[in-house]
Structure 1
Amino acid sequence: MEMNYDENTLHQLEEELRVQIVPGTEIMADVGTHHFVKSSGHSHRVLVPQPSDDPNDPLNWTGFWKFSTLTCATAATFVQGMGPLALAPMLPQLIEAFDSNLDAVIQFTGVAILVLGFSNFIWVPLSTSFGRRPVYLASLLICFGSAIWRAKATTYGSFMGACVLNGIGAGPAETIQPNVIADVMFLHERGAYQTLYFVFYFGSLMIGPIIAGPMAEYAGSNNTGWRNFWWLNVGLIGAAFVMCLFGFPETKWHRMHPDEIRRLESEAAMKSSDEKIAVQTTEGSGIEKSNSTGLPNLSHATTTQKDPWLGKGRPSKQQFKLFQANAHPFQSILLDLWIPWKLFAFPIVEFASFVVSWSASCFLTDNLLQSQAFAAPPYLFSPLKIGFFNFAVLVGAVIGSVTAGPLSDWISMKLTKRNNGIREPEMRLPTMIPYFILMLIGNFVTAFGW
């Protein structure tokens, strides 16, 4: 539940709607005397979450700044995902370069992916405590160093160390951009952008081998083409770092709960009263000092119909700092470490995790077995041909990007209107049906073809 309702408002809405508002349920229409900020002056679509009347609120940013932010985040996601799974076509060259065997060099990818997944137990708490911007900048620097290390490695152990470092640095590619999308986009817009994120992330895993195969075979002499692929990564990661440094402001934004606003207003009122007494005592007059709390008016916050800064705001200088201050960083980090384990008690979280992880695992299996199946007899395919196998997966991903996200937004919005403006998270589930069938068929075809 992204709308910050206080208890009284929540009970009033539940009584008027005769619906229990639980986490995940969102109200996307005016209810009785409760009016909300709309997407435009001529629209009845309520914005979730409700933007504040602050020009620096990421939800209020202009289209330019939202585009810049998501472009930089997508570029970081792409370059961080391109390297770890790009080894499949160049495995024969790596076997020769490090005087190793197939089982050993496959571990380069396996170890990098394993470390990548667990590294998010570090990156996600840091992004919550200090912001998305420092996580992107730090992780890109780590990926930059690991790409140089991979390009210059001369021993098996050295290259494995670079893989471990690459896994640590590439972790944010799997977790941070969905948070950025939620920071700057409204609920009814997120399906398309989440699909765009997945396409660019998984697309990077597919394009990596497509580029690595020809480079391993042709871009160098004396078995050095695979090293040039990592020098290419150095350039791409460096460009993404510069983009994020200048084009990615901090998107993490604290939205105050009504109870928090009341507490701060009460503290400000007490402080104002103390100052008034002090002035009367010292000056012996009834003149009161003016005191502005700088807090949003609570009644305005819960009933406002217009946001003067919607689509007109921009990031502040504070949002371009290297990190955002946090009064209780360790408490925040410990909370983020505990919450994932708590959430796994909910079946919907396990279901969502299974869907994403199983889809990724199917692709990972195809990626790791390409050279093993087709570089050996009777095929004896070159790295170029093996790398080009990934064009098929890329075509499917592009089709999915064009259809899945917009279809999900359209279906969920239709079901929301039918449900009197009440959005439930399971309204996106019908969108999965055709894609589930296609994936099932694809797995059968792959298994039989293998």
Structure 2
Amino acid sequence: MPSEIPGPGNRPNQGSVYLITSDGRTLSLPIPSDSLNDPLRWSLLRRSLALASMSMFTVVSLIIVQGTSLFLGQLGNEYSSIPFRIDMLSSIPCLFWGIGAVIWVPLCLAIGRRPVFLLCTLILTGACFVAAVSQSFYVHLTARCMQGLAGAISPSVMILMIIDMTYIHQRPLYIALFWCFTTVLSNIGLALTPLIISAGGSWRAFYWVWLVPSALTIFLALFGCPETYFKRYPISFDGHILAQYENGKTTIYTNWGEVPKGKPLPVEPTVWKAGSVAKNIIFWNRTTTEGWQAVSAFPKQLLICVCNPLILWVLILNALIFGGMVLTCSTYAEVLQEPPYNFSFQNIGLAKVSPAIGAMLAFLSSGILTRQSIHFLAKRNRGVREPEHYVPSFILPVITSSISLGLFAMAVHRQWDWRWILLFVGLDYFSAISVFVSVALWVTEAFPLWAGPAIVVVGAGGYGLSFALSFGIMPRANSEGLAKTYIELGLLTLIVGLVGLPVNYWGARFRNYIYSKWTQE
């Protein structure tokens, strides 16, 4: 009979992982295979090049997507006769971040992560060029949609790529490092936006300048990032048959007849043919993917995740906190350029230092502090890491988001010193980056069999809802006042965050119930 070893005493909890041994050693799970294509066996150089390629693309896409908010005034002068609000150009990429996640995640299950990455670099570069040469609002708007579509790979497929390349105990640090420091670098790049536009004499200079590094990401993806997807088949180990999942759960069988799909066939070596050079380059180092069958099963898994209250909770929380950050970032530039602050266009760019500092502090919170707290809680739990151990990481961003939204509104309403405004903008950035890392860890570790669909739900749904929030709340703010609207949003964020208390106590029981009803292993 097969036996499961997620932890001492054969604990059956789905998502639970035996991570720390009795002598204090942290286990490296999943166990790497013998294949050199297994990303867990990559050299430090190979892994570093892959992460650098992904980070470069993310930094450039974040700059291109967010940069428009800094020169909406110039765009308003050029597109003065349009029937839409000009800030649609800065907010609509959030909507297409959501749409892109729904497209890219199932596609990467069928053809691999690498081809999707290459496709997104081409789309981003093409969209940047179209925006630079656009002569009408509608062409520019289309280019902005495509920029958001391409950038959607970063908070979705790239999170799965990092999970592919790392052990379980490394994931909090690596995901936080990736998301926090790409945000830091993108804000430093955004600080240069007014200087670029002033030197170029037009807002189009922004797109022309960033077209070059965008094109560079194509070559980095092509030559620096191998395929990260790798399916580990059951293997013979110490007289037993060992099968494992990405969440670290291991099942041991006594013979191959007990394995559900039997003994795997030998992996056929890659054969290079002269007529398929381009295909071999695109699918370089390709390992077996789930295939198009996974795409057909994806809608059902997506529906399960949407109906899952534990995922729905973090979806709404991510939407509120990210939407609050989008609101403050789209508001503070305009506020600081008006009396009594009278910031120049160049000084507005320097104000981006505040979000950069907020993102840097988010790494200390969501990366280092979360890793230490998980290790402590797992050690207390007889070495078993539960997904609920990630729930405490939501506490700080929920509190800082709720407070900063209310105080930002008060600072604007009562015209406090400009330093206060930048402080609250930085806190909003800190909250949004921290909560995204916590959300990504929670949904992928709590529901590892649905990691892709779960990332889509919290990514696509979260950013889609944040677009609706940021686009629809301004009329309410104009009618009821900025202070009242932002304070209400902060209180709503706090209330949704409090749902984490019962999740922390009863989450494991509810997870097991969901798996027993909705999965077939």
TM-score (structure 2 length as normaliser):
0.67
Residue 67 of structure 1 corresponds to 48
Q: 2:20, 2:378 within 8 Å by CA — same for their partners in 1? A: no
1:22 matches 2:10:
no
- Aligned match for 1:8, one of 2, 10, 14: 2
Aligned residues: 384
Q: Aligned runs of 1:239-278 on 2, under 5 Å?
A: 239-257=216-234, 258=243, 262=256
Residue 147 of structure 1 corresponds to 128
Please tell me the residue identity of whatever aligns with 2:389.
Answer: M
| CA deviation after TM superposition for structure 1 residue 177, in Å | 1.8
1:190 matches 2:181:
no
| CA deviation after TM superposition for structure 1 residue 201, in Å | 4.6
Distance in 1 between the 2:231 and 2:189 partners? 37
Q: 2:226, 2:284 within 8 Å by CA — same for their partners in 1? A: no
Deviates more, 1:357-366 or 1:379-388: 379-388
Higher relative contact order (CA 8 A, sep 6+): 1
Deviates more, 1:413-422 or 1:355-364: 355-364
| CA deviation after TM superposition for structure 1 residue 370, in Å | 3.0
| CA deviation after TM superposition for structure 1 residue 264, in Å | 11
Q: 1:87, 1:212 within 8 Å by CA — same for their partners in 2? A: no
Q: Which has the larger radius of gyration?
A: 1
Distance in 2 between the 1:211 and 1:102 partners? 31
| CA deviation after TM superposition for structure 1 residue 30, in Å | 5.9
Please tell me the residue identity of whatever aligns with 1:171.
Answer: A
Distance in 1 between the 2:229 and 2:55 partners? 17
1:414 matches 2:395:
no
User: Quick one: structure 1 residues 336 and 205, their matched pair in 2 at CA, closer, same or farther if it must change by over 3 Å?
Assistant: farther
Q: Aligned runs of 1:20-419 on 2, under 5 Å?
A: 20-29=11-20, 44-100=25-81, 104-203=85-184, 206-207=187-188, 209-216=190-197, 218-221=198-201, 224=202, 226-257=203-234, 258=243, 262=256, 294=266, 321=283, 324=286, 329-419=291-381
2:196 counterpart SS class: helix
Q: 2:62, 2:151 within 8 Å by CA — same for their partners in 1? A: yes
Q: Deviations over 1:208-250 (max 9, x none)?
A: 542222323x2223xx2x2111112211111222111111000
Q: 2:37, 2:230 within 8 Å by CA — same for their partners in 1? A: no
Distance in 2 between the 1:49 and 1:327 partners? 18
User: Quick one: structure 1 residues 71 and 174, their matched pair in 2 at CA, closer, same or farther if it must change by over 3 Å?
Assistant: same
| CA deviation after TM superposition for structure 1 residue 387, in Å | 2.5
Distance in 2 between the 1:327 and 1:413 partners? 32
* Superposed CA RMSD: 3.2
Distance in 2 between the 1:327 and 1:371 partners? 45
Q: 2:2, 2:258 within 8 Å by CA — same for their partners in 1? A: no
Distance in 1 between the 2:183 and 2:318 partners? 11
Distance in 2 between the 1:349 and 1:357 partners? 12
- Aligned match for 2:386, one of 424, 445, 448: 424
Distance in 2 between the 1:177 and 1:374 partners? 35
User: Quick one: structure 1 residues 423 and 266, their matched pair in 2 at CA, closer, same or farther if it must change by over 3 Å?
Assistant: closer
| CA deviation after TM superposition for structure 1 residue 326, in Å | 6.3
Distance in 1 between the 2:83 and 2:343 partners? 16
Distance in 2 between the 1:325 and 1:255 partners? 10
Q: Deviations over 1:282-315 (max 9, x none)?
A: xxxxxxxxxx9648xxxxxxxxxxxxxxxxxxxx
| CA deviation after TM superposition for structure 1 residue 268, in Å | 9.1
1:173 counterpart SS class: coil
User: Quick one: structure 1 residues 391 and 29, their matched pair in 2 at CA, closer, same or farther if it must change by over 3 Å?
Assistant: closer
Please tell me the residue identity of whatever aligns with 1:176.
Answer: V
Any gaps of 5 or more consecutive residues in structure 2? 235-242, 244-250, 268-278, 413-521
Q: 1:129, 1:329 within 8 Å by CA — same for their partners in 2? A: yes
| CA deviation after TM superposition for structure 1 residue 137, in Å | 0.8
Please tell me the residue identity of whatever aligns with 1:423.
Answer: R
Q: Deviations over 1:12-61 (max 9, x none)?
A: x48x8346422211112569xxxxxxxxxx98322222222223211111
Deviates more, 1:170-179 or 1:244-253: 170-179
| CA deviation after TM superposition for structure 1 residue 121, in Å | 0.9
Deviates more, 1:81-90 or 1:383-392: 383-392
Distance in 1 between the 2:155 and 2:262 partners? 42
Q: Deviations over 1:34-93 (max 9, x none)?
A: xxxxxxxx9832222222222321111122212111111111221122211111221111
Q: Deviations over 1:253-301 (max 9, x none)?
A: 01225499936999999xxxxxxxxxxxxxxxxxxxxxx9648xxxxxx
2:323 counterpart SS class: helix
| CA deviation after TM superposition for structure 1 residue 438, in Å | 2.9
| CA deviation after TM superposition for structure 1 residue 347, in Å | 2.7
Q: 1:131, 1:323 within 8 Å by CA — same for their partners in 2? A: no
Q: 1:84, 1:167 within 8 Å by CA — same for their partners in 2? A: yes
Q: 1:73, 1:244 within 8 Å by CA — same for their partners in 2? A: yes
TM-score (structure 1 length as normaliser):
0.76
Q: 1:268, 1:293 within 8 Å by CA — same for their partners in 2? A: no
Q: 1:136, 1:244 within 8 Å by CA — same for their partners in 2? A: yes
Residue 276 of structure 1 corresponds to none
Distance in 2 between the 1:416 and 1:245 partners? 40
| % identical equivalent positions | 22
Q: Deviations over 1:360-407 (max 9, x none)?
A: 212111122234433345544332222222211211111221343011
User: Quick one: structure 1 residues 73 and 86, their matched pair in 2 at CA, closer, same or farther if it must change by over 3 Å?
Assistant: same
